[in-house]
Structure 1
Amino acid sequence: MDLFQPSPSAHPGPELPELLPLGPDGIVVRFGRVVSPQLSAAVLAFEQAVQENLPDGVTEVAPSLSSVLVRFDPARGRRDQVLTALRKLLGGVDWLAETLPPASRIWHVPVCFGADQAPDLKTFCQLAGLSSEQAIAQITQTPLRVLAIGFAPGQPYLGYLPPAWDIPRRAALTPQVPAGALVAALRQLVLFNHASPTGWFQIGETAFRPFQRDRTVPFALKSGDSVQFHAIGSAEYSALKNRSDGLGGARYEAGA
């Protein structure tokens, strides 16, 4: 029997996600192929369940937008044992009906929407059918969650914004957006930790750096954290950029 194929008789009820091998020490638990708020809730709920019931030998649990990567140390846990533990956690639960687990931390992050810091805001708003004021209000009034961290160290994918934000990527790349650029990407916001090319729309900028190598805690954000953005003016933004801690005025408080 294929270790990665669930047994229907062993798992009655909701269909299980796919269990896929990844190299000699990884298993990908894939909940779907089309990213959605429902899928993200399933991913974060399952990641929390694995973290709270960590199978023997597991060394890393990392969510993406549609799956959870589970890595294990082959010297401390066999693949079949880890698979059995994952199936036990998956079985009998309709993960796509799960709600987002409560955030353990709520981050408050200042962001500037000035013309120099949001060069694509006007164009994006025209495509989305929003005024700049409406777009900024939706960014700052919507509690966003860290759905995944990737592409670059510490870089968060934050969601979800209302359906009007479901705007496709631009036809041509912007050669470079600066570190701290906040870009709109299919109902999500992505916060660039370093300068980078992108096909998405830069609609704001923050002095917050989610990753800073020499900081006491280099990675500020964790998957599942809640992020609340707060609009600030250009003068305050300039002052925050000079802070050496890379937090740019961001702070967090305990959640649930």
Structure 2
Amino acid sequence: MLRQGTPTYPLIRNIGLSGMLVSFGDQLDEATNRATLAFRSAINELHLSGVVETATSLASVFVRFDVKELSHDRLHGILADLLQTQDWRDAPLPQGRRFWRVPTVYGTDLAPQLAEAADLAGLSEEAAIEQLSAAQVRVLTIGFAPGQPYLGTLGENWDIPRQTQVTPQVPVGALVLAIRQFVLFSTASPTGWRHVGQTALTLFQPDIADPFALRAGDELQFEAVSKAQFLRLREIGAEQGGAVVSEVAA
């Protein structure tokens, strides 16, 4: 029996004067995130007059709209009807997603917290590199900084806590880890997550028409390379940091 006030999902809520949020859960799991990606794609395919933009978080879809063209009641009704069309937690992921193979140096002085993270996961550094470089993760959402992805989920042994103190700064392209997720930094930034890998991938280029390299739903694999190989990629300015991109099969 639900406690009084316990929300049931999916849940539609107003956000400010011109926003609406459709939430599929109160915590992250694969099916919840899948629902957000599929539902946002379905909203976009409706081409609703008055919808200004849509975006996903880990477990919700945000819809911003022009109240002069689309009323709260009408949008709420459209979203509620759309929710009834299928089980969104079991929906196919949207088409057009991409798979990125990203050269990554693990450990060394470029990513100095690999040993600490490996120890928390109960692994040697070598075993940690093997697991992390073999993992295929999905862009769960973009946030915190422009073009910056949260990626997951990793195996249960990687459910390691955030640090108790903040690292003052990690560089652009830093791959950090906590709570079964990676974050790949688009800007130099402080972080409470452990810096385990370093890439040369540029995620945010504000001067081009499509400034974000990644999109929610894209898949990535951070393949291990030596420090010497990584430095060579950075020295020659390899396009996309040496990453190889292909379409995800439908």
- TM-score normalised by the chain length of structure 2: 0.89
Per-residue CA shift, 1:34-63, capped at 9, x if unaligned? 222232122222222222234332121111
- 2:243 corresponds in structure 1 to 250
Q: Provide the rounded CA distance (Å) in 2 between the counterparts of 1:182 and 1:162.
A: 17
Match of 1:236 among 229, 240, 247: 229
- What amino acid sits opposite 2:128 in the alignment? A
Deviation, structure 1 residue 122: 0.5
Q: Provide the rounded CA distance (Å) in 1 between the counterparts of 2:39 and 2:203.
A: 24
Question: CA RMSD, aligned part only?
Answer: 2.0
- What amino acid sits opposite 2:116 in the alignment? T
- 1:152 corresponds in structure 2 to 145
Q: Provide the rounded CA distance (Å) in 2 between the counterparts of 1:146 and 1:235.
A: 28
Runs of 5+ consecutive residues of structure 1 not aligned to the other structure: 1-14
Q: Provide the rounded CA distance (Å) in 2 between the counterparts of 1:97 and 1:27.
A: 23
The 5 A counterparts of 1:125-204 are 125-204=118-197
Runs of 5+ consecutive residues of structure 2 not aligned to the other structure: 1-7
Match of 1:227 among 194, 215, 220: 220
* Aligned residue pairs, count: 242
**1:56/1:82 contact within 8 Å kept:** no
Q: Provide the rounded CA distance (Å) in 2 between the counterparts of 1:115 and 1:173.
A: 20
- TM-score normalised by the chain length of structure 1: 0.87
Q: Provide the rounded CA distance (Å) in 1 between the counterparts of 2:108 and 2:135.
A: 22
Q: Provide the rounded CA distance (Å) in 1 between the counterparts of 2:66 and 2:237.
A: 37
SS in 1 for 2:196: strand
Q: Provide the rounded CA distance (Å) in 2 between the counterparts of 1:70 and 1:253.
A: 29
- 1:107 corresponds in structure 2 to 100
**Is the deviation greater in 86-95 or in 218-227?**
86-95
Cα distance, 1:192–1:246 mapped onto 2, change above 3 Å: farther
Deviation, structure 1 residue 102: 5.9
Q: Once the two structures are aligned, what percentage of the paired residues are identical?
A: 46
Deviation, structure 1 residue 26: 0.8
Deviation, structure 1 residue 28: 0.8
Match of 1:25 among 18, 27, 42: 18
